[in-house]
Amino acid sequence: MLTTYQTAIEIALRTLTIYLVVLAGIRLTGKREVGQMTPFDLTLLLLLSNSVQNAMTGPDTSLVGGIVAACVLLIMNSLVAFIAGKNKKLRHTLEGSPTVLVHNGKLMEACMKRENVSLDEIQRALREHGIEHVNEVALAVLEVDGAISCLKYDDVGHAHQHPHRLRFLQRHQ
């Protein structure tokens, strides 16, 4: 019985370590919305999950070992989400901050490069927002969830009617 508890604790510690390493790795690789995942992103995610499985459970392939690993992952995810919800600094560290991609109709190429966002991705986001050309954009921002938000000059002109837009613009200018 002692061996079972020792094994469960070892699996829990291994899983905790892998969770933190993968979380840090995903955070460092940049922002990408799940719906915007490329086939390369999906392949990486699938291979990553398969590659860390044995590191979490070690030689234990039992049902109990899998349950311990799954429970630790679920608990850690809930705990991190809870703490990040209460702590702005941790949330910023884990999620990052929005990045301006287009400002006053001009592409911010250094920001695009840093965030690994292509012109094609920006053009797709513009089309999704009903915008034909970059020069019509007052502001396009890569949000922390990987989505690209776009504001046309018309939206900026009506910002006084929408205080949240005005605050958004003031923060990103």
Q: What is the mean pLDDT of residues 45-72?
A: 83
**pLDDT attached to residue 1:** 53
Helix (H) or strand (E) holding 73: helix 63-86
Q: Sheet containing 137-142: give its strands across.
A: 106-107, 99-103, 137-142, 148-152
Give the mean pLDDT of 64-88. 88
User: What's the whole-model pTM score?
Assistant: 0.62
- For the chain, the straight-line distance linking the first and the last C-alpha, in angstroms and rounded, comes to 62
Q: What is the pLDDT of residues 92-111, one digit of tens each?
A: 888 788 899 999 889 999 99
Nearest by Cα to 76 from 27, 17, 31, 8: 17
Strand partners, 151: 139
**Side chain identity at residue 53, one-letter code:** Q
Q: In this predicted structure, which of 104-108, 119-123, 155-159 has the lowest mean pLDDT? A: 155-159
Per-residue pLDDT reduced to its tens digit, 132-155: 899 889 999 998 878 898 988 766
